Amino acid sequence: MAVFLNVENYSEQNRLSPPTPYLDDEIGFFLFYGKITEMTSFWDNLPQPFFILAPMEAVTDVVFRHVVKQAGAPDIFFTEFANATGWVHAGDKAIAGRLIKTDDEQPLIAQIWGGEPGDMEAFAKHCAELGFNGIDINMGCPAKSAIKSGGAALIRRPDIAIAAIDAAKKSGLPVSVKTRLGYTYVDEWREWLTAILKQDIVNLTIHLRTKKEMSKVAAHYELIDEIVKLRDEIAPQMLLTINGDIRDREHGLEIARKHPGVNGIMIGRGVFSDPFCFRKSKTDTDNHKEELLTLLNYHLDLFDSYQPILGRPFETLKRFFKIYIHDFDGAKELREKLMHTTTTDEVRSILAHNDHPHYTY
């Protein structure tokens, strides 16, 4: 049985209105580090396989997580990834709302990155104070800004990767890692994953590509069984999650059936093709357009609700339009109109004159 700090703060949210923002200065609890209760982590009580919404920069903020929750919730949510060193030196301004959350997102994992163990420890403890359910360390992001000191750069610095894991564990929260097969070559996977599998983390998520491959090639599903075998040899208690080119729940279940030993399925870009990708029941094709436009209206309401807190420009909303406006007659023309809007009210006006659906969220 694992020993973790546990913080529960649940409240029933009204489905008809956006959830109440949960801000740093409104935390209604304190952690008492001297009174740690023995308990199992939420990771021990998940369905098999479990489904995770992948952390995506400028996508999986508090607004979009609630959109996905409304469409069909995964078993676990991840935040956007936030930089530990930036927060240590510049505070909340450096992470630009990436840790804003509400108390109806359960369980919610804070994904953090960096290359300074001391900063990782301080930031992970901060995440514990905010009430997150776990810490995930990003060791796979290929972005130039990340690989200067973290992300996929840690694949080449296993000593720093191990130190970062040890530092994050001091938060008292369960620690997991998301990484790639290697930095440059696919055959780096065995040595690199062996190093991480020896670190006694709760879950290892593997994006089945290298840093160099980005998302330009097909995910290497042919390696799944070998990776499962390696996990079983080194750390059979560790959960193993697969990520890369997974379209939806049905596809994820198929992967789990074909590859016994896979515990979790993480979906990232699949949500852009189908925001209902985590839904357990199939989407009603007869009402697909209505559902998509209703979900877009909900997204608009959430965007307005959180705008004073997040301060994200309206232009950032436009990257989401393609999620909702596709696969129905006139979708291309409607999407082009929306791309020329400048406010959420303007978007609503155009939707209202385009067979506006019954608004139920």
Of these residues, 141, 160, 161, 201, which one is catalytic?
Answer: 141
pTM (2 decimals)? 0.87
CB atoms within 10 A of CB 148: 10
Average pLDDT over residues 23-42: 45
pLDDT at position 325: 96
Could you report the per-residue pLDDT of 41-68, keeping only the tens digit for each?
899 999 999 999 999 999 999 999 999 9
Could you report the per-residue pLDDT of 186-198, keeping only the tens digit for each?
999 999 999 999 9
- Whether the pLDDT of residue 209 is over 50: the answer is yes
Could you report the per-residue pLDDT of 219-261, keeping only the tens digit for each?
999 999 999 999 999 999 999 999 999 999 999 999 999 999 9
| Residue 277 annotated in active site | no
- Name the band, by pLDDT with cuts 50, 70 and 90, for residue 28: very low
Could you report the per-residue pLDDT of 270-298, keeping only the tens digit for each?
999 999 999 998 766 678 899 999 999 99
pLDDT at position 281: 84
Query: Ramachandran region of residue 7, left (φ > 0), alpha (ψ -120 to 50) or beta?
Result: beta
- Whether the pLDDT of residue 21 is over 70: the answer is no
- Whether the pLDDT of residue 12 is over 80: the answer is no
- Whether the pLDDT of residue 32 is over 50: the answer is no
pLDDT at position 184: 97
pLDDT at position 68: 98
pLDDT at position 147: 84
- Name the band, by pLDDT with cuts 50, 70 and 90, for residue 36: very low
Share of the chain above pLDDT 70, in %: 86
| Average pLDDT for the chain | 88
pLDDT at position 143: 87
pLDDT at position 355: 61
**Residue 188 is encoded by which pair of tokens?**
């780096």
- Whether the pLDDT of residue 9 is over 80: the answer is no
Could you report the per-residue pLDDT of 124-172, keeping only the tens digit for each?
999 999 999 999 999 999 888 888 889 999 999 999 999 999 999 999 9
- Name the band, by pLDDT with cuts 50, 70 and 90, for residue 70: very high
pLDDT at position 283: 65
Structural domains in the chain? 44-273 (3.20.20.70), 285-352 (no CATH)
pLDDT at position 361: 52
HEC per residue, the chain: CCECCCCCCCCCCCCCCCCCCECHHHCCCCCCCCCCCECCCHHHHCCCCEEEECCCCCCCCHHHHHHHHHHHCCCEEECCCEEHHHHHHHHHHHHCCCCCECCCCCCEEEEEECCCHHHHHHHHHHHHHCCCCEEEEEECCCCCCCCCCCHHHHHHCHHHHHHHHHHHHCCCCCEEEEEECCCCCHHHHHHHHHHHHCCCCCEEEEECCCCCCCCCCCCCHHHHHHHHHHHHHHCCCCEEEEECCCCCHHHHHHHHHHCCCCCEEEECCHHHHCCCCCCCCCCCHHHHHHHHHHHHHHHHHHHHHHHHHHCCCHHHHHHHHHHHCCCCCCHHHHHHHHCCCCCHHHHHHHHHCCCCCCCCC
**Residue 83 is encoded by which pair of tokens?**
């930089």
The residue whose two tokens read 């396989």 is 49
